[in-house]
Amino acid sequence: MCSTSAVTPGESTYTLELPYRRSVGPVVGAFLTALRDGRVLGSRTPDGRVIVPPLEYDPETGDALDELVQVGTSGTVRHWCWVAEPLRRHPLDRPFAWALVQLDGADTALLHALDAGDPDRVSAGMRVRVRWREEREGHIADIACFEPEGRP
């Protein structure tokens, strides 16, 4: 979908969206099913690394990956970026951070929203945990967001 609204003569603002559907295979399907059940899975590579979210093929060797392992639902923020004004399709309707979170037991980081309330409460190295959506359906949004550990 594409929409436009005139700003000044000769200028336009565009919003471009590319909605699509994709069928999931055994790896992504298992990952989404695990999310529905309140668990997170990763794929183990032949050298023992655990990739989250799981991939069907090792990005370094191209080897097929078929071993799925459960990782923790808590982890460490590796990188983050604050969003002061969330957009309509963002996962939270208040300011939040996009964060790369390395879950316990994983060797890679998962990009997701972090609800910390204030950018001064976010730092690389901080510990966070998954906040699950009340009703889950097998979608990445079953993780409503991450939140700082120890938050009531």
Q: In this model, does residue 29 exceed pLDDT 80? A: yes
Q: How many Å apart are CA 8 and CA 13, to the nearest integer?
A: 10
Q: In this model, does residue 5 exceed pLDDT 70? A: no
pLDDT at 134: 96
Q: In this model, does residue 47 exceed pLDDT 90? A: yes
Q: How many Å apart are CA 149 and CA 13, to the nearest integer?
A: 40
Q: How many Å apart are CA 40 and CA 55, to the nearest integer?
A: 13
**Local structure of 129: helix, strand or coil:** strand
Q: What phi, psi does 100 have (nearest 5°)?
A: -90, 115
The model's confidence at residue 7, banded by pLDDT at 50, 70 and 90, is: low
pLDDT at 15: 81
The model's confidence at residue 117, banded by pLDDT at 50, 70 and 90, is: very high
Q: Which of 36-45, 57-66, 102-111 has the lowest mean pLDDT?
A: 57-66
> Stretch 70-99: mean pLDDT, rounded?
97
Q: In this model, does residue 96 exceed pLDDT 90? A: yes
pLDDT at 129: 98
pLDDT at 151: 63
Q: How many Å apart are CA 137 and CA 25, to the nearest integer?
A: 17
Q: How many Å apart are CA 96 and CA 88, to the nearest integer?
A: 13
pLDDT at 51: 98
pLDDT at 102: 98
Token duo for residue 41: 């899975």
